[in-house]
A and B are shown apart, each in its own frame.
Chain A
Amino acid sequence: MLIGAIIAGIVFGLYYTLVGLGLNLVFGVMRIVNLAHGDFLMLGGIAAWWLFTTLGLHPLASAGLVIVAFVLVGLPLYYLVVPRLLRSRDSEMLSLILFFGLSQMIEAVTTIGLGSTERSLPPRLLGVGPIILFGTRLPKAWIFSAAASAIAVLLVYLYLYRTRLGTLTRAVMVSRDEALATGIDVNFVSAVAFGISIALAGVAGVFAPFILGSITPNMGVAINITAFAVIVVGTLGNPLGTLLGGIIYGVSLMLMQTYLSSWANLLPNLLLIAVLLVRPEGILGRRVRRA
């Protein structure tokens, strides 16, 4: 049972890495918190559900469409709100308020438009029957979602570490002031990072029905808390730390569900409190905030 929980935890952890990655990328580059991240994830799930029920589109095709569409939404959203936000005196704090408002708006509009019912997609879309990993039987849909997440994480890694724009993005993460002084077009770099972040949330949403079971318009808040726990555990502002945070979160979640299932929903909060008490700078421990 222990091994099974750990294996399932790693599979879930890859998915949770995807959930947190975009949030952390935006925090790393812009030092703002996008509290509407979970709502964009929800919208990605709604999009996948709608594309399947009306057009019969496979989730993998939906994922491709969602990436394109969400980048196209993310870029104008960036230019509309973020540069103004960054000029303010306390952009980190104000970002919480601004994106909380956006989150509420998205949730309300979605509820008004579609109702608050749970929506799901048939798991057989991602393969029938279990896969056996080290003696543990896991649904194919989980493995598929985890693999898709791993690919997305890998692509972000390649972007950050193997492309010129990615190197500039990391330079902005290291020091925004030095980046400006070096003549990096910080605004453009940030806009691209924001677009990628929204697209990552959308892709995570496409696979949400398979991992989380269903999607509802009000799921954003809970997703935000989970995503926040993942990136705080992994280290704020360090996108690759997200992988560590995601795996720790996934494994802990599965252990909780196996041995203490009624307490499992408490986990993100417990992890947040534990990390903030013991190692507030995150496990990879680079201090990114000026207190």
Chain B
Amino acid sequence: MPDPAPLDPSPILRASAIEAGYGRVQVLWGAGLEVRPNESVVLLGANGAGKTTLLKVIVGLLPAWKGSVRLDPDDVTAWRTDRRVRRGLAYMSEIGVFPGLSIDENLRVGGQFIEKSALKHRMAELYADFPDLAHRRGALAGSLSGGQRKMLGIAKALASSPRLLVMDEPSAGLSPLFVGQVIEVLNRFRASGLAMLIAEQNIAFLDLADRVFTLDGGRIRFEGSVAELEADDSLRRTYFGLA
């Protein structure tokens, strides 16, 4: 029996009061969220709500105008992405893979900071988890189907054995069948204790969520469990499209 987790362990990731945007256009107006160890958090929001922008600030691809990002135990607000990745953060963008590199090379690039023999071991593990990829190691990522590409994107992000996996719309461009497969795979890794932050507009991903944040107009509108989200009438109308 594992020890019961403390009630509010210190978060792996804490983004507080983030303001950010592009050029002069401000997109985020004081948005913040946390992800705790072993926790899977879904950031729900419509197109244009600022999900990608918030993730980019969290991973260091876009500077925060105000606010801070902490990656336990450091304040990483001013850090470049590569330094954050070395500290156990992995980011899967909407594209997620390098189409012009082979499957094998994509995984190597994902695990670039790992020492050689450990990477070999890690890749063997990932190929065991993703047998479809193992059969085609030399194939270009660009030759894969949309669903397989997404699987490769997940495997590539996990190649560095991250503490926290941040994903931008893993459902983008996928048919419902493949969305189901992606969720199933992520559920497996969730069970193994990986902390995840998933930005989505597809509510199917709520199956994965320990906690939900909703983002609207660059502000966090709601934070709580899926049950609490479902209990709120106006949020339910917004995100579930039900009366």
Contact = CB atoms under 8 A, between A and B. Distances in A.
B95 A164 contact: no
Contact of A182 (B80, B99, B100, B110): B110
Interface majority SS (helix, strand, loop, mixed), chain A: helix
A179 B82 CA distance: 10
B21 to A, nearest CB: 17
A219 interface: no
B91 A171 contact: no
B238 interface: no
A164 B61 contact: no
Interface of B: 59, 61, 80-82, 84-86, 89-91, 93, 95-101, 105, 108-110, 112-113, 156, 160
Contacts of B109: 167-168, 171, 182, 184
Nearest to B100: A174
A180 B61 CA distance: 7
Contacts of A168: 109, 112
A183 B81 contact: yes
Contact of B98 (A175, A180, A286): A175
Contacts of B81: 180-181, 183
A170 B86 contact: no
Given A167-B105, A168-B112, A185 B97 contact: no
Contacts of A25: none
Contacts of B80: 185
A10 B114 CA distance: 43
Interface of A: 164, 167-168, 170-171, 173-175, 177-185, 286
Contacts of A175: 95, 98-100
B110 A178 contact: no
Contacts of A173: 100
A164 B108 contact: yes
Nearest to B93: A181
Contacts of B95: 175, 177-178
Nearest to A174: B100
B82 A183 contact: yes
B164 to A, nearest CB: 13
